[in-house]
Amino acid sequence: MSPAADDLLSQRVKAAELSRGISSNVIYAAIERVIATRDLQGAVLDYGAGVGDLTRRLVEIGRFSSVSAADIMPRPAGLDRVQWIEQDLNEPMQGHDGAFDVVIAAEVIEHLENPRFTVRELFRLVRPGGTVIVSTPNNESWRSLVALLVRGHYAGFGEASYPAHITALLRKDLTRIFQETGLRSPEFVFTDCGGIPGKPNVTWQQISFGLLRGLRYSDNVLAVGIKPAA
């Protein structure tokens, strides 16, 4: 590997470490609701697994015949029975074409340099008829839109989030990317948990007794797409 390639890999590893390799239980719960609602089964890949929190939950729910995980970070402890693929996800993941019934990229795409490459990879890895789930910060929430107007950036893309968060996407971007790749237009699912502008630890749901939900009141969004059957 050349010095330039070494430097680039080091930057990517550092960015992954800054993200701590975790998401929130709210996001994991939303993913689990999609899995249950759609009765998803078979072989599942946790694409961008980080420290393996979602991977463990995928094992524990007992729906899948096999659980695999991929990340630039090394295999976490306690996941010996999971197929762990250690690699830079900005590069192609070779040898797994059509290997999975479900591919989940939970809070990953915003960390990677090319979202179109990422979704092409997810399309390649999932079998025909399989399901792709991508979650990412919801940049169309009131909190994020106010941050854009006041601070000049979306809520999840300020200095505190850089260089972990580098790619901000809207629903229109995700729809276009899914369609360009060959996936069906995504269904969007919201976490129904979102901080209010300026006080992110106070949620819209707390102050409205759970009435405020959906696009403007969720900090994260899931795009769920199907790869057409052959």
The full DSSP string for 146-176 is: HHHHHHSS-GGGSGGGTTT------HHHHHH
Architecture of domain 3-226: 3-Layer(aba) Sandwich (3.40)
Does the structure show a pLDDT above 60 at 20? no
Q: Domain segments of the chain: what residues?
A: 3-226
Let me know: does 13 contact 72? Beta carbons within 8 Å: yes
Q: What is the pLDDT of residue 23?
A: 73
Residue 141 has pLDDT above 60, yes or no: yes
Angle between helices 115-125 and 171-181 (to 10 degrees): 50
Best CA proximity match to 61, nearest among 78, 81, 39, 87: 39
Tokens in use for 93?
A: 């993941």
> Of 43, 62, 219, whose CA–CA distance to 135 is shortest?
219
- Kindly report the average pLDDT of the chain as a whole number: 93
167-206 pLDDT, tens digit per residue, is 999 999 999 999 999 999 999 999 999 999 999 999 999 9
- Distance (Å, rounded) from C-alpha 128 to C-alpha 194? 34
In the predicted structure, residue 7 carries a pLDDT above the cut 70 = no
Average pLDDT over every residue of 95-122 = 97
Q: How confident is the model at residue 10 (pLDDT cuts 50, 70, 90)?
A: low
pLDDT at position 211: 97
Tell me the average pLDDT across 23-30: 93
